[in-house]
């Protein structure tokens, strides 16, 4: 119930305008978002790398509606990647990109061209790009764009969402040599026709997908904070004889930092997904939808500016 309220809120531009003016304490946003500027993102990235973690940076923004906005997002990534290169932060830091932010809904070809420019900048910096997964209406287009990008930039990563009924088949397609696949549960409100609805069914699907990726030839990126799934992933890595550099764990900035540190101290590769930028609203609403404890934190900080 709470989940659907926050997911509906994440798509409301009227609520977004209200939230931007509301007395939301900076600490609420700061808990999940590195800051609004590229400098903030670089500072957090350096700190995480110094702590033995790796990073994927997300320039916040989705549902770009004009060509100019798409160009601005592309340019923000290209600048970020140049700064990561010059600051010696690549390859420990890569970037995550939403094709909707690059104008996928206005013109798929344009979004592809912008993604290509970002992949070229990443290659120049010695790092990679991962294409985020958005709602199910975009999955085919995103995977087609991924295939085209991988022809020239083979390390470009995909994100697959375990809650989608199609994802086991997509895992089989993508569990090939050189293929980087981030497996997450999925963060959008999706209809029963395309997605498992109960937490148990999603968890079981996650394990089936994990088995396919861990037993395949690609590079699995296990994106979850769920202790049971983390333990199962560690078990499968042992079972399929994967060395510590043949898969990685990924978690969101601000979520279970002590677990991130524990896994890294145990020799695991841990990548923290670090969002930054002004357009934090949709991202923050999806985080609140995931976890009642996040809502309690949000509520406490509404009154403690
Ligand atoms: P879930 O939220 O179901 O929590 C399971 C259990 O984990 C909880 O009961 C609790 O025990 C523990 N837990 C979870 N969060 C915790 C916290 N903050 N503190 C303490 N314990 C906690 N989605 C998408 O649709 N497209 C995408 O591209 C991405 N990209 C992405 C990248 C990365 C690196 C991550 C980690 C996640 C995404 N996601 C995503 C989001 C993903 O789909 C999902 O919504 C969230 O990760 C929440 O699901 P969990 O697997 O963490 O478990």
pLDDT reported for residue 169: 98
Please tell me which residue in 74, 85, 116, 132 is annotated as part of the active site: 132
**Residue 102 forms part of a structural domain:** yes
Question: What residue has token string 């344009």?
Answer: 110
22: pLDDT strictly greater than 90:
no
What domain count does the chain have? 2
How does pLDDT run across 241-258, given as a tens digit for each residue? 999 999 999 999 999 999
pLDDT per position as a tens digit, 88-106: 999 999 999 999 999 999 9
Residues 23 and 49 in one domain: no
Do residues 250 and 154 share a domain?
A: yes
Same domain, 134 and 180: yes
Same domain for 45 and 27: no
265 within domain boundaries: yes
Ligand 1 atom 50 nearest Cα:
224
Which ligand 1 atom minimizes the distance to the CA of 225?
52
Residue 251 corresponds to which tokens in the numbers above? 């978690």
**CB neighbours of residue 204 within 10 Å:** 13
Tell whether 208 and 268 lie within a shared domain. yes
pTM: 0.92
CATH of the domain at 246: 3.20.20.220
Residue 26 lies in a domain: yes
Residue 52 in domain: yes
The answer to whether the CB of 168 falls within 8 A of the CB of 144 is no
| Rounded distance between C-alpha atoms, residue 303 and residue 305, angstroms | 6
pLDDT band at 61 (very low <50, low <70, confident <90, very high): confident
Question: Does 77 lie in the same domain as 8?
Answer: no
Q: Is residue 108 part of a domain?
A: yes
Does some domain include residue 305? Answer: no
- 107 in catalytic set: no
Residue 304 has pLDDT above 60, yes or no: no
Same-domain pairing of 244 and 177: yes
Question: Does the pLDDT at position 302 exceed 70?
Answer: no
Residues 183 and 140 in one domain: yes
Contact (CB, 8 A) for 264 and 53:
yes
Helix, strand, coil share of the chain (percent; to 5): 55, 15, 30
Note whether 28 and 42 are same-domain residues.
no
Q: Is 219 in the pocket of ligand 1 (CB under 6 A)?
A: no
State residue 252 phi and psi, 5-degree precision.
Answer: -85, 145
Query: Within this chain, do residues 86 and 230 fall inside the same structural domain, yes or no?
Result: yes
What is the domain range of residue 137?
Answer: 36-279
Enclosing H/E stretch for 238: helix 227-239
* Residue among 61, 222, 224 whose CB has most ligand 1 atoms within 8 A, to mutate: 224
Take atom 9 of ligand 1 and give the residue whose Cα is closest. Answer: 226
Residues 6+ apart with CB under 8 A from 242: 214
Q: State which H helix or E strand residue 62 sits in.
A: none
* Closest C-alpha residue for ligand 1 atom 1: 226
Structure tokens at 84: 């990561």
pLDDT of residue 20: 63
Q: Which sign does the torsion angle of CA 212, 240, 202, 180 carry?
A: negative
H or E segment to which residue 118 belongs: helix 108-125
In a domain, 252, yes or no: yes
Give 92's DSSP letter: T
Same domain, 223 and 147: yes
Is 132 an annotated catalytic residue?
yes
- pLDDT tens figures, 129-158: 999 999 999 999 999 999 999 999 999 999
Answer yes or no: is 206 within a domain. yes
| Cβ pair 213, 171 in contact under 8 A | yes
Statement to judge: residues 200 and 292 lie in one domain: no
Q: Which residues contact 144 (CB under 8 A, 6 or more apart)?
A: none
């Amino acid at each position: 119930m709470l989940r659907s309220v926050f997911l509906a809120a994440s798509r409301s531009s009227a609520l977004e305008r209200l939230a931007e003016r509301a007395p939301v304490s900076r600490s609420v946003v700061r808990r999940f978002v590195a800051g609004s500027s590229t400098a903030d993102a670089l500072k957090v990235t350096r700190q995480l790398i110094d702590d033995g973690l790796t990073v994927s940076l997300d320039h916040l923004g989705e549902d770009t509606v004009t060509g100019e906005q798409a160009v601005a997002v592309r340019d923000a990534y290209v600048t970020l990647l140049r700064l990561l290169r010059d600051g010696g932060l690549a390859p420990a830091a890569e970037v995550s990109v939403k094709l909707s932010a690059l104008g996928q809904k206005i013109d798929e070809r344009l979004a592809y061209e912008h993604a290509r420019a970002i992949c070229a900048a990443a290659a120049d910096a010695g790092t990679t790009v991962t294409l985020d997964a958005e709602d199910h209406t975009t999955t085919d287009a995103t995977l087609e764009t991924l295939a085209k990008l991988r022809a020239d930039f083979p390390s470009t990563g995909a994100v697959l969402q375990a809650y989608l009924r199609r994802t086991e088949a997509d895992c089989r397609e993508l569990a090939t040599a050189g293929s980087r696949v981030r497996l997450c549960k999925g963060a959008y409100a999706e209809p029963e026709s395309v997605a498992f609805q109960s937490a148990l069914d999603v968890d079981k699907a996650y394990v089936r997908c994990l088995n396919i990726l861990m037993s395949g030839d690609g590079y699995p990126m296990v994106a979850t904070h769920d202790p049971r799934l983390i333990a199962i992933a560690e078990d499968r890595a042992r079972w399929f004889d994967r060395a510590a550099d043949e898969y990685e764990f990924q978690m969101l900035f601000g979520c279970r930092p002590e677990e991130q540190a524990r896994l890294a101290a145990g020799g695991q590769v841990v990548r923290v997904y670090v969002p930054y930028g002004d357009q934090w609203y949709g991202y923050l609403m999806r985080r609140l939808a995931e976890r009642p404890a996040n809502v309690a934190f949000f509520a406490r900080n509404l009154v403690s500016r």
